Structure 1
Amino acid sequence: MTPEERSLRARLAAHVSWAATPDPASRTAKARAAADSKFEREAREMHPDASDEHIARVAKHLRSAHFSRMALKAAARRRNSATPKAA
């Protein structure tokens, strides 16, 4: 099987799985909670004496920074894959 065929097969399986999921939010709840606790832990390490409200604000910005960083890396990958390779 080619890499493209494996990708199509995996995409098909994912769509079938999500179609069979009655409550998508509950399916991803543990992962979201783990990510939220990671950002909160990082915020508390940065500001150990801060109030809960301040920690929540910092954690929100850390989460946004994380996803912005991922988007930037994805853009670089797209740009690099569109660039023709020299022979």
Structure 2
Amino acid sequence: MSAAERSLLAQIAAHTLWANCEDPAAHTAPARKAFLDRFEREVDPDGTLTPEERARRAEHARRAYFKRLALASARARAAKTTRGVIKGGGGRDVA
């Protein structure tokens, strides 16, 4: 089976899943919980903090994570725009 066929089969499976899913939020809840639990483990690997302090620190760790993603995205967009200008156009004009 080619890579293109595998990709199409995966897309069909994903669309079928979501077409038959009664509650998408409930379906993805375990993944969201695992993602958020990661930040609690990061800030309190030994489990010694109070639940309130662990939650406070985890929230800041989560915010820092998303700010790092935003920074990387902004840098990538800036680099892409710069490459387009250097190559003589082709880059998008950013308002």
Task: Give TM-score, length-normalised by structure 2.
Answer: 0.62
Q: Which runs of 5+ in 2 are unaligned?
A: 1-7, 89-95
In the other structure, the counterpart of 1:76 is: 75
In the other structure, the counterpart of 1:25 is: 25
In the other structure, the counterpart of 1:7 is: none
Moved over 2 A (4+): 16-24, 84-87
Q: How many residues align?
A: 76
For residues 78 and 49 of structure 1, the distance between their equivalents in structure 2, rounded to whole angstroms, comes to 41
Q: Which amino acid aligns with 2:25?
A: A
Q: CA RMSD in A?
A: 3.0
Q: Which runs of 5+ in 1 are unaligned?
A: 1-9
Deviation track 1:41-81 (CA, whole Å, cap 9, x = no partner) reads 01113x75321100010011111110110011011111111
Q: Which amino acid aligns with 2:55?
A: A
Task: Give TM-score, length-normalised by structure 1.
Answer: 0.67
- Higher radius of gyration, 1 or 2: 2
The higher-RCO structure (CA 8 Å, 6+ apart) is 1
